[in-house]
A and B are shown apart, each in its own frame.
Chain A
Amino acid sequence: MSRRYLIVFAAITSLVVLALGSFNWFMNPHGLFRSPVIDGLNVMKPKMGFYERQLKAYQASRLKPGALVLGNSRSDVGLDPMHPGWSAEPAYNLGLGQASAYTVYRYFLHADSFRQLEQVVIGIDFEMFRPGILEDPADQNLALAVDGNGKRNPNFFGLLLFQALTSADAFLNAVEVFQTNLKARGTVEADNYVPAIGVNGMMRPDSFGLSSYKTRHGMFLASLGAFVNIWWAPLEEYRGFLRADTEPGAIYFRKFLAAAYERGVDLRMVISPTHAYLNEALAAAGLWGAMERWKRMVVRINEEEAARANSEPFPVWDFSGYNRITTEMVPKTRNQPNDMSGYWDISHFRKGVGDQMLDRVFAVSEESRAGFGVLLTGVNLEDHLASIRRKRVSYREANPELVTEIEARMQGLLTE
């Protein structure tokens, strides 16, 4: 009796799990596997972009890149690992949506465990140091080769495959892949075959939901809600943050730099060129001081860790502030997919801008230098911050109506 019971139990459990695993492998909802791609079945993968952390952990283990792009979604859509300036190969874009200093540190150690990294360009942002980064749900239960304490996790690959093949999320997303493709059967265009995340790791920018707004300008203003309610929340805490190095953003940034110095990586940091609209919103939210404090902290921690490692400090390039890219006019006419040359939305710059940043960072072309990007050091930092403040005054004088509109919008969001 008991023997038969055990046999039936084991057979049912393993057969069903095997069947689900095969289904998930074939539907490949997160794009990890090289399963056959068939129209009507599994071409479109609506949830692929949401499982970037899983896909890129897997790709890092498979491709073993020697060079990386790190950072959040801004780096993810804007910094090209195929840029001619890279000196190590293969380069892979390991930018991750809503990545924080903690996420970056974890993925850096992960990729480095497969092959010693030679070159890294990291896009850094104020928001990557937000106070609650350790509680970010996206960063819980990451299946990575190295844990948060720097210890090897020998079970990582098994855990990753387990999550990819037998998790409820993978299964539900696989069912969604099937339904979506069945509906779109026969109408699939060449475009649909382009995955949300390319083989080089770059995120396909798509349209950032542009079609739901009348104008690009309207879209820029609407996106401020997400900054107030998510990226800068809770605002009170955010305003006072980074007063001490004991905050998680500072702690993990320092750990990241220490690890990079220790390994002798050629690391270059870029502060993303978010659009001037966002500067006004930042100031209206009372965060300007915190943002400047953040830049000082970046430069200081970098120089401290360099001194500790007896190395030259890694270059920190600031592309933010007011320059010919960040002050691009935002059209108020009926929107078009390509009505701006530099931006997808208020903070995501296009690859063309990313290329100019990499030109500068890799010193590829001299002529591109004019007016975009300043190399920050402890020496020129205060002058640079003062210069941005002065340029802000000019920008406000030149665009008084625009500034009033942004401030009114922020007032509305802050009193909600």
Chain B
Amino acid sequence: MHYMLFVTFFPQLIAGPIVHHKDVLPQFIRKDTFTPRAENFAVGTTIFFIGLFKKVVLADSVAPFANTVFNSALAGGSIGFADAWAGAFAYSFQIYFDFSGYSDMAIGLARMVGIRLPLNFDSPYKSTGIIDLWKRWHMTLSRFLRDYLYFPLGGNRLGNRRRYVNLMIVMLLGGLWHGAGWTFVIWGGLHGIYLGFNHAWRAWRGDKRRDTLFARSASTIVTYIAIVVAWVFFRAESFPAAWSIIVSMASVGTVLDPAQLLGSFSLGRELLLWLVVMSPIVWFLPNTQQIMQQYKPALKTYPGEIKQVGFPFMQWQPKVSWAIAIGGSAVISILYMSRINEFIYFQF
């Protein structure tokens, strides 16, 4: 009976978080879990509407720009340097807000009925390395791959070389898990290589690491760029399309000539405005879990992962001011909802 409930539990049926039975079965068994509580409902509703906003306002607004670039590449059109980067950035924001919004909605829905799901996103683009990224992006998938693929393969216990091979196998299969196509394999392969580099770097630096603001910012930027390059393969519908975008992105000489740089951008001011609005959300604002922290919004997938928010006013509380803010964003989401509206991550 509880197993049936676990298998069919609606908030996480359609896409992630990938829930392990040991996360939720104990909650189903506890008698007081399903007793309706206003606090659960308030917390769940808030998380749900934050997620909806991410999905329908943020993700769906940049999606058309990414589509323009990737469709044009698929049709064999030539893409300018600035367009290629802007399209790739747009897609990186689209998939991030789409998927993290979706996870929020699942976590929020579950919480309305008193269930806590595991955390699935922890501001992944704030990562300072690819190892860090995979502890923050689609965390339940990484955990699943680690427990059921990486560990059985021997993990890092069979020596250094075997560890790199294992990482590569896991990432290639992780790529295939998203779709049967060479572009997904390349995406996984790139991440496998990134991870290998990241481990090698760590081994080489050892305890010489210096944790300065500059070092952290530089790592975050390099990591993000690496992720964006990999996303191009993930999004493109064919290898030639992906490659033509990558080639355009690599024509860095364009930067030296401002006229040429401007000329290579045709996607319009609206996209720039969206990128300017979204960047601080991605890199500087606290995430949903941090805002809701006092109410334990999600189970921790890894211990100690949620960092404290510095400013108390950014901590959600069931107060009128927060009700107005969340109500306002719910209204905006509803206004945006009647546009093209599909969850791009559904197919995976």
Residue numbers of A with Cβ under 8 A of B are 1-6, 8-9, 11-13, 16-17, 20, 135, 140-141, 159, 162-163, 166-171, 234
Contact = CB atoms under 8 A, between A and B. Distances in A.
Contact of B45 (A3, A6, A11): A6
B320 A2 contact: no
A9 B323 contact: yes
B71 interface: yes
Given A5-B320, A6-B38, A9-B323, A168 B339 contact: yes
A12 B322 contact: no
A3 B37 CA distance: 9
B320 A4 contact: yes
Contacts of B38: 2-3, 6
Contacts of A17: 331, 334
B41 interface: yes
Most buried by B among A6, A9, A159, A169: A9
Contacts of B330: 9, 13
B319 A5 contact: yes
B327 interface: yes
B interface: dominant SS: helix
20 contacts: A1-B319, A2-B38, A4-B318, A5-B323, A6-B41, A6-B318, A9-B46, A12-B327, A12-B328, A16-B328, A20-B331, A20-B335, A163-B338, A166-B337, A167-B336, A167-B337, A167-B338, A167-B339, A168-B338, A169-B339
B227 to A, nearest CB: 28
B42 A6 contact: yes
A170 B335 CA distance: 9
B90 to A, nearest CB: 17
Contacts of A140: 340
Contacts of B41: 2, 6
A159 B337 CA distance: 10
B222 interface: no
A29 to B, nearest CB: 14
A170 B334 CA distance: 12
A12 B323 contact: yes
B83 to A, nearest CB: 18
- Give the interface SS of chain A, mostly helix, strand, loop or mixed: helix
Nearest to B321: A8
A130 to B, nearest CB: 13
B273 interface: no
Contacts of B71: 135
Contact of A9 (B39, B45, B75, B338): B45
B39 A2 contact: yes
A292 B336 CA distance: 44
B165 interface: no
B180 interface: no
Nearest to A159: B338
Nearest to A3: B38
Interface string B16-54: 000000000000000000000111011101100000000
B341 interface: yes
Interface in B292-330: 317-320, 322-324, 326-328, 330
A141 B335 contact: no
Contacts of B319: 1, 5
A162 B338 contact: yes
B38 to A, nearest CB: 4
B339 A141 contact: yes
B320 A167 contact: no
Given A17-B331, A167-B335, A5 B42 contact: yes
A141 B341 contact: yes
Question: 5 closest Cβ contacts across the A-B interface?
Answer: A12-B327, A167-B338, A5-B318, A8-B323, A2-B38
Contacts of A20: 331, 335
Contact of B335 (A6, A9, A135, A171): A171
Given A5-B318, A169-B338, A13 B75 contact: no
B318 A13 contact: no
B327 A16 contact: yes
Given A2-B41, A234-B75, A8 B338 contact: no
Contacts of B322: 5
B318, B328, B338, most chain A CB atoms within 10 A: B338
Contacts of B45: 6, 9
B208 to A, nearest CB: 50
A11 B324 CA distance: 10
Nearest to B328: A12
A248 to B, nearest CB: 15
A141 B42 CA distance: 32
Contacts of B46: 9
A234 B72 CA distance: 11
A369 to B, nearest CB: 45
A166 B317 CA distance: 29
Contacts of A167: 335-339
A6 B46 CA distance: 9
B327 A8 contact: yes
A9 B339 contact: no
A12 B324 contact: yes
A25 to B, nearest CB: 15
A85 B310 CA distance: 76
A3 B330 CA distance: 18
B336 A168 contact: yes
Nearest to B75: A234
A12 B331 CA distance: 9
* Residue from A5, A135, A234 having most chain B Cβ neighbours under 10 A: A5
A2 to B, nearest CB: 4
A2 B42 contact: yes
